[in-house]
Structure 1
Amino acid sequence: MVDIAARVWNHKWKIDPIVRSLIDTDFYKLLMCQSVFRNKPDTQVTFSLINRSKHVPLAQLIDEGELREQLDHIRSLSLSRGESTWMRGNTFYGKRQMFTPEFMDWFEALRLPPYHLERRGDQYELTFEGSWPEVMLWEIPALAVLMELRGRAVLNGMGRFELQVLYARAMTKLWEKIKTLRELDGLRVADFGTRRRHSFLWQDWAVQAMYEGMGEKFVGTSNCLIAKNRDLEAIGTNAHELPMVYSALAKNDAELARAPYDVLSDWQEEHDGNLRIILPDTYGSEGFLENAPDWLAGWTGIRVDSGDPAAAAEIAIDWWTARGEDPTQKLVIFSDGLDAGKIEELHKQFKGRVRASFGWGTMLTNDFIGLTEGDALAPFSLVCKAVSANGRPTVKLSDNPNKAMGPEDEIERYKRVFGVGKQEALDVVV
């Protein structure tokens, strides 16, 4: 097992790049990239870094030269032969050749496009522009670099023994969570923590701890590189990015209202089984389900990613029941801001009512809360989102208004088109 504290100490001599591979990314990114490659390859998009936690001054903590070094290194990466073999030949979700030869030929030749980086006060402006299939693959590695560089800035002043104690305490903290969760009968948990992980090495350790500590209750990881290296299931479906861009491309309100369903119609042509998971909250879950075509009720399940998770699951149960579906056979994936206590609570509340599963993210791979002076390693909310498509702004409403993004006039238009009324504002921690 890697001595993480020693490796962190050695980071001072720049031994390791942060992102080592183009598949050091979430599985849903590769699935979505193939869908975009097939359906919208010429769409021009802009992705932008958004730090929701303004109290974390990234430009003060992270040296611009070092950030550029890491981003430039990512641009030098290409798919290795072993990675290509894994993608072409592995079975994902019970399906061989998940990725088409045409997509793989393109991916094997890919180098990520240029970036634009500029300091703005205490924050960085980081943007990526170009064709959608290329630019979208910047999101996860860009976030991973910024999260880890912020961590290195904090850790840089610590000595060897201090680092050893820090990581020993963090390991103990995570192991106590695992001991609690493994007692829950029928639990299913996956690692969803790539985007805001403390570091690659720490995520890899956390995944190994989950595998050993939870056995069959641990169903896999969203991180493709770790899944490949550890012979685990790669887990993931789709994300808000698809409806956000499809909606931005709509020429009028009628097309806008159809856009979130057009996304899933395209998805249905490519995937079945456990990959047919609805993410309903991009423009409000209740309105999405109320206006959804009947064929969507037959999909495998729903992912809950904003708002009150219990309330969202109840809405889904009522919707399935009204559509003549059996909720006990449906999969509900909870994935928003989870920690062990919330996982335990939701598992007990919905056990037997749905097939509940949990995508455990930041608080699995980046819970150093209370372990440093001033909580300098506490996780924070950093995202990299598509902000425009073919020159039109994107919008996300979410079931939590504190997660909304886009120009104010467009937000109001989307609320009108999708019938979004008053929403409960919840704190965004991660």
Structure 2
Amino acid sequence: MDIATRVYNHKWKIDPIIRSLIDTDFYKLLMCQSVFRNKPDTQVTFSLINRSTSVPLARLIDEGELREQLDHIRSLRLSRGESTWLRGNTFYGKRQMFRSDFMEWFEELQLPAYHLERKGDQFELTFEGKWHEVMLWEIPALAVLMELRSRAILNDMRRFELQILYARAMTRVWEKIEKLRKIDGLGIADFGTRRRHSFLWQDWCAQAMIEGLGDAFTGTSNCLIAMRREVEAIGTNAHELPMVYSALAESDEQLARAPYDVLSDWHDEHDGNLRIILPDTYGTQGFLDNAPDWLVGWTGMRIDSGDPSKGAETAIRWWQERGEDPRQKRIIFSDGLDVDTIADLHAKFSGRAKVSFGWGTLLTNDFRGLVPGDGLAPFSLVCKAVSANGRPTVKLSDNPEKAMGPESEIARYKRVFEVGAQERMEVIV
């Protein structure tokens, strides 16, 4: 595919930013089914949060064009082929991962209305409604804003400039793949949908990983690309679940139990490699110290904030203290990864646990230094559940730079979850 020519000759109907309801991450659909089953009446608000305030999205992106792309997403419906793939494909070794009642609902889904308003140099973009409906806005909303920002920067570039730009970017990705080839026993997946440069670019990166890494490439989080390229769809669950469950708690005692209630529901629905603990929503150490015994039997743990080496050491120590062999457990690293970090972590923990990686933004959006002013450098944009049934949500993380929520609630959550001093780390993406 000649991406440069497609960009230069861009036609909206040929390349809408989101072209399918399954142009989303697999974990979103798994979580959506869980919410559909367990919390069908919960009302949730999602909101766009640009952590990189130096990137003036509302000055770069035309509001009318943004609305056009968002309206297009609301026009999408699940196709027959997509439904057949979800209903009939094997995911994580299991057929019929998605229940009939969930699929019947999904096949009729139209994403709910959005609220968009310009506030200075940023956009206020919110989605309100039933949790299992509005949650499916998160990934496409982020992908639209990231790609519109890319298009704004590329808009004035000529054909040959674009060809050279993409040639350099392709070379950069391939050089990274060549370094990864040297790592024995590597297992790595594409986790780059949310903050990708564009759909076409993510698809190209996935194909490069397929050809360059062979069996070391374990799959992609993007359902549409997984279906088209016939690779595994990868993903489990995210911080969204404990954030909303916790906001629904009526007391401090219920709040302290909420992160485990989430995993109890998940335990009833999934087994094997889908039983991956994400412990850092309210601090990893406290979560593990108070974890029920049945969680020790889960397959592994995902390290998604704070110092990844410290997080992995904490996981290994916890398993050992609970009488488990860490060598039989899986550790998934997924926070701000690039090739050197991947190599270092693999060298340090391979053999001590089953190590794998979810490689995100610096796979699918590493255009750093490739245009004047570095206007294509990735930045930190998120779309989070900010309230549930009218109560604010909170995330603490192992890195206080990622904390979100009202200050009074953050203080309360730190008290309930016994979170002490934390090390601040730069948020790369």
Check whether TM > 0.5.
yes
* DSSP-derived class of the 1:65 partner: helix
Which residue is equivalent to 1:63?
Answer: 62
Aligned partner of 1:21 in structure 2 is 20
Conservation of the 8 A alpha-carbon contact between 1:12 and 1:156: no
Spell out, residue by residue over 1:222-260, the C-alpha distance to the aligned partner (whole angstroms, 9 max, x if none): 000000000000000000000000000000000000000
**Does 2:42 correspond to 1:43?**
yes
Contact map agreement 1:182 1:214 (CA 8 A) in 2: yes
Matched positions, count: 429
Give the aligned partner of residue 266 of structure 2.
Answer: 267
> Residue 364 of structure 1 corresponds to which residue in structure 2?
363
Correspondence for 1:232: 231
In structure 2, the residue matched to 1:223 is 222
Q: Which residue of 1 aligns with 2:347?
A: 348
- Paired with 1:46 and 1:384, the residues of 2 have a C-alpha distance of 10
- 1:11 Cα deviation after fit: 1.9
Equivalents in 1 of 2:11, 2:309: separation in Å?
A: 45
User: Which residue of 2 is the match for residue 120 of structure 1?
Assistant: 119
Query: C-alpha separation between the residues in 1 aligned to 2:421 and 2:355?
Result: 28
Deviation at 1:16, TM superposition (A): 1.7
Q: For residue 119 of structure 1, what is the amino acid of its counterpart?
A: R
How far apart, CA to CA, are the structure 2 residues paired with 1:370 and 1:38?
A: 46
- Residue 17 of structure 1: how far off its partner (Å): 0.8
Pair 395,13 (structure 1): closer, same or farther in 2 beyond 3 Å: closer
User: 1:34: which partner in 2?
Assistant: 33
Q: CA deviation at 1:388?
A: 0.1
State the distance in 2 between where 1:172 and 1:331 align: 32
- In 1, Cα distance between the equivalents of 2:209 and 2:14? 27
Aligned to 1:251: 250
Q: List gaps (5 residues or longer) in structure 1.
A: none
Indicate the residue corresponding to 1:205 in structure 2.
204
In the alignment, the residues of structure 1 paired with residue 67 and residue 14 of structure 2 have an alpha-carbon distance, to the nearest angstrom, of 16
**Structure 2 CA distance for aligned equivalents of residues 154 and 259 of structure 1:** 43
User: Which residue identity is paired with 2:318?
Assistant: W
TM-score by length of 1: 0.99
2:193 alignment counterpart: 194
Q: Distance in 2 between matches of 1:10 and 1:264?
A: 48
Instruction: Within 5 Å, give how 1:161-176 maps onto structure 2.
Output: 161-176=160-175
What pairs with 1:30-429 in structure 2 (closer than 5 Å)? 30-429=29-428
TM-aligned CA distance change 1:6 to 1:178, over 3 Å: same
Contact 1:189–1:217 (Cα < 8 Å) also in 2: yes
- Alpha-carbon distance between aligned partners in 2 of 1:273 and 1:14, rounded to the nearest angstrom: 41
Partner Cα separation in structure 2 for residue 370 and residue 358 of structure 1: 25
Whole-angstrom CA distance in 2 between matches of 1:13 and 1:380: 25
TM-score normalised to structure 2 length: 1.00
1:254-288 CA-to-partner distances (Å, cap 9, x unmatched) read 00000000000000000000000000000000000
Letter in 2 for 1:206: C
Hey, what's the Cα distance between the residues in 1 that align with 2:12 and 2:147?
A: 15
Query: What is the alpha-carbon root mean square deviation over aligned residues?
Result: 0.6
The letter for the 1-side match of 2:342 is: I
CA distance in structure 2 between the aligned counterparts of 1:297 and 1:15, rounded to whole angstroms: 49
Report the CA distance between 1:409 and its aligned residue.
0.1
Following TM superposition, by how much is the alpha carbon of 1:87 offset from its aligned partner in structure 2, in angstroms?
0.2
The secondary structure found in structure 2 opposite 1:126 is strand
SS in 2 for 1:283: coil
CA drift of 1:14 comes to 5.8
Gaps of 5+ in 2: none
CA contact (8 A) 1:222 1:236 kept: yes
1:8 is matched with which residue?
7
The residue type paired with residue 232 of structure 1 is V
Q: Aligned-pair distance for 1:77?
A: 0.4
Q: Deviations over 1:96-132 (max 9, x none)?
A: 0000000000000000000000000000000000000
After superposition, the Cα gap between the structure-2 partners of 1:59 and 1:231, relative to the gap in structure 1 and judged at 3 Å, is: same
In structure 1, give the amino acid aligned to 2:338.
D
CA distance in 1, matches of 2:249, 2:255: 5
The amino acid that maps onto 2:83 is S
Tell me if structure 2 keeps the 8 A contact 1:203–1:365. Answer: yes
Equivalent residue letter for 1:238: N
SS in 2 for 1:55: coil
Question: Identical aligned pairs, as a percentage?
Answer: 79
Q: Deviations over 1:117-176 (max 9, x none)?
A: 000000000000000000000000000000000000000010000000000000000100
Alpha-carbon offset, residue 13 of structure 1: 6.0
Q: How far is the alpha carbon of 1:10 from its aligned partner?
A: 1.7
- What do residues 194-230 of structure 1 show as CA deviations (whole Å, max 9, x unaligned)? 0000000000000000000000000000000000000
- Return the offset for 1:15: 3.5
> CA contact under 8 A between 1:400 and 1:423: conserved in structure 2?
yes
> What amino acid maps onto 1:368 in structure 2?
F
CA distance in 2, matches of 1:319, 1:286: 9
- Distance apart, 1:309 and its partner CA: 0.2
Distance 1:182 1:266 in 2: 39
- Note if contact 1:44-1:390 (Cα within 8 Å) is conserved in structure 2: yes
Distance in 1 between the 2:350 and 2:237 partners? 25
The amino acid of 1:129's aligned partner reads E
The DSSP-based 3-state class of the residue aligned with 2:358 is strand
- Tell me which amino acid in the other structure corresponds to 1:266: D
Could you tell me which amino acid in structure 2 is paired with residue 416 of structure 1?
R
Q: Secondary structure at the match of 1:142?
A: helix
Opposite residue 299 of structure 1, the aligned amino acid is: W
3-state DSSP class of the match of 1:260? Answer: helix
